A = this chain, B = another copy of it.
């Protein structure tokens, strides 16, 4: 099967997530990066593209030029990875979707709810696929956890505790750091700061594993660093349809936490606990029995998406790559209009994430009043 010809929008020099997407696309040899509009200026785009070995005629000054030119080529790209700041997701994605190019887009879906709704409409009208890289759902143990919940291993879910804590924005260095600079600018990041950047991950993962749908939330958001224009910490009460309750905490000002996304789910039969910083183990307790340490590819069986034996740790890039694998499965099936059972975060998941951020911001503005989602 021929490798999928991939383009990339964003991800030039100094970008963090663009390189991650390239590792993820490359790991399983299902994609070939052939085109890009990698930076905000034509000069930087050209420079970045050459570093990646792209042909000069497929390095574009902007995504519009790229979408038009690639769509016109017989050997044009089949899919595009969009890895820009959030406010560019919607316009870029629309340019490709409307030309039938599949989109693999970083999260959150968009900077605003309005953009998200508009993008959903375009995505659903187009014949192209839309894959959102909520990469934490690609971790094998998170897929295993989802399967366990679905199989009733925890019983009826009562409680969902999810948190995503970082510390890199503890001090007011936003302007000094390229990552901080756009992520704390509401015009590019969106109205949510930590809620949009990492809260959406936590929310998506909690729903993915638990299988639950949120009913309403009450959020108390803060900007602890003086002068910061978006939230850097958020405490959210969660009420799920069907009666389960939970809490979500996201913070980028919690010293000692590098990237601590932790999910705990409790039902009337059992509970589980997992933390992203050591993603190869998960604790599972059947009520009344000793806690078990489940490993990614160990005695409890191989979780979906493993590449190597238990005890040989897989990490963030491998989990991320599992989203690319699912996207490749779906794209290859789409070539022949075959059915695909590939599971990946969709544009609807992306909309749900933006709805979540929007609801958090609205609730917080009303003194943490309950807001339905």
Task: State the CA gap A19–B29 with chains docked (Å).
Answer: 12
Choose the segment among A84-92, A274-282, A353-361 that binds chain B (4+ C-beta atoms closer than 8 Å): A274-282
In the assembled complex, how far is the CB of residue A5 from the closest CB belonging to chain B, in whole angstroms?
15
Q: A233-248 vs B: 1/0 string, CB under 8 Å?
A: 1010101000001110
Contact pick for A27, options B26, B53, B277, CB 8 Å: B26
Contact residues of A between 273 and 317, Cβ < 8 Å to B: 273, 276-280, 283-295, 298-300, 307-317
Binds B, one of A37-45, A95-103, A122-130, A255-263: A255-263
Contact A291 B292 (CB under 8 A): yes
Contact of A310 among B259, B278, B294, B318 (CB under 8 A): B259
Residue of chain B at shortest CB distance from A289? B299
How far apart sit A337 and B268, CA to CA, in the bound complex (Å)?
Answer: 53
Cβ-defined contact, A256 with B237, below 8 A: no
User: Chain B residues with Cβ under 8 A from A264's Cβ?
Assistant: 254
CA distance A161 to B257 in the complex (A): 13
Whether A367 is near chain B, meaning CB under 8 Å from some CB there, is yes
- Min Cβ gap A107→B in Å is 15
Number of chain A residues whose Cβ lies closer than 8 Å to a Cβ of chain B:
84
Which B residues are CB-close (under 8 A) to A309?
16, 258-259
A271 within 8 A of B: yes
Q: Would you give the 0/1 interface string for A313-325, flagging 1 where the beta carbon is closer than 8 Å to chain B?
A: 1111110000000
Question: Which residue from B171, B284, B287, B367 sits with its C-beta under 8 Å from A167?
Answer: B287
A347 within 8 A of B: no
CB-CB under 8 A from A268, the residues of chain B are 170-171, 224, 253
A247 with B235: CB separation less than 8 A: yes
A151 to chain B, nearest CB (A): 16
CA distance A218 to B257 in the complex (A): 26
How far does the alpha carbon of A289 sit from the alpha carbon of B298 in the complex, in Å? 8
- The complex is assembled from copies of this chain, and their number is 4
- Across the interface, do A269 and B293 meet the contact criterion of CB distance under 8 Å? no
In the complex where A270-B256, A277-B311, A318-B317 touch, is A220 in contact with B235 (Cβ < 8 A)? no
User: How far, in angstroms, from A29 to B222 measured CA to CA in the complex?
Assistant: 42
Chain B's closest residue to A22 (CB) is B29
Q: Are B280 and A170 in contact (CB under 8 A)?
A: no
Is the C-beta of A249 less than 8 angstroms from some C-beta in chain B?
Answer: yes
Contacts of A254 in B (CB 8 A): 159, 264, 266, 271
Chain B residues with CB under 8 Å of A284's CB are 256, 290
B residues in contact with A299, CB < 8 Å: 285, 288-291
A residues contacting B by CB (< 8 A) are: 16, 19-20, 22-23, 26-27, 29, 53, 154, 158-159, 161, 163, 166-167, 170-171, 218, 220, 222, 224, 233, 235, 237, 239, 245-247, 249, 251, 253-260, 264, 266-273, 276-280, 283-295, 298-300, 307-318, 367-368, 370
Q: List 25 A-B contacts (CB under 8 A).
A: A16-B308, A26-B27, A26-B29, A159-B253, A159-B254, A167-B271, A170-B287, A218-B218, A218-B220, A235-B237, A235-B246, A237-B237, A253-B266, A255-B270, A256-B284, A258-B309, A260-B311, A277-B311, A280-B315, A285-B299, A312-B315, A313-B315, A314-B315, A314-B316, A368-B368
